């Protein structure tokens, strides 16, 4: 299972009790990843189009400001 999140740039990442630290990373500039996480993200990159990703960001930004556009 993998999740994609769009968050405001000033959102703070907070580690839970099972981690010593947490951070947000740009989708285009990720650090080395453990296990098969890199392969999962490579598959996602091949599936999500730039248009889909851009629309996701637009809808999320509108939701933050209560301005969701009608199709």
Coil, strand or helix at 57: helix
- pTM, to two decimals: 0.49
Q: How far is CA 21 from CA 18, 28, 46, 48, in A?
A: 9, 21, 29, 29
Q: What is the dihedral of CA 20, 25, 31, 36, to 10 degrees?
A: 90
**pLDDT per residue as tens, the chain (71 positions):** 556 677 777 888 888 888 888 888 877 788 888 899 888 888 877 777 777 777 777 777 776 666 555 55
Kindly state the DSSP code that residue 35 receives in the 8-state scheme: T
Radius of gyration of the chain (CA): 15
């Amino acid at each position: 299972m993998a999740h994609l999140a769009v968050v405001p740039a000033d959102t703070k990442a907070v580690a839970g009790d099972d981690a010593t630290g947490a951070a947000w990373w740009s989708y285009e500039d990720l650090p080395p990843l453990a296990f098969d996480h890199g392969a999962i993200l490579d598959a996602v990159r091949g599936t999500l189009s730039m248009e889909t990703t851009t629309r996701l960001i637009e809808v999320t930004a509108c939701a933050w400001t209560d301005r969701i556009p009608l199709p």
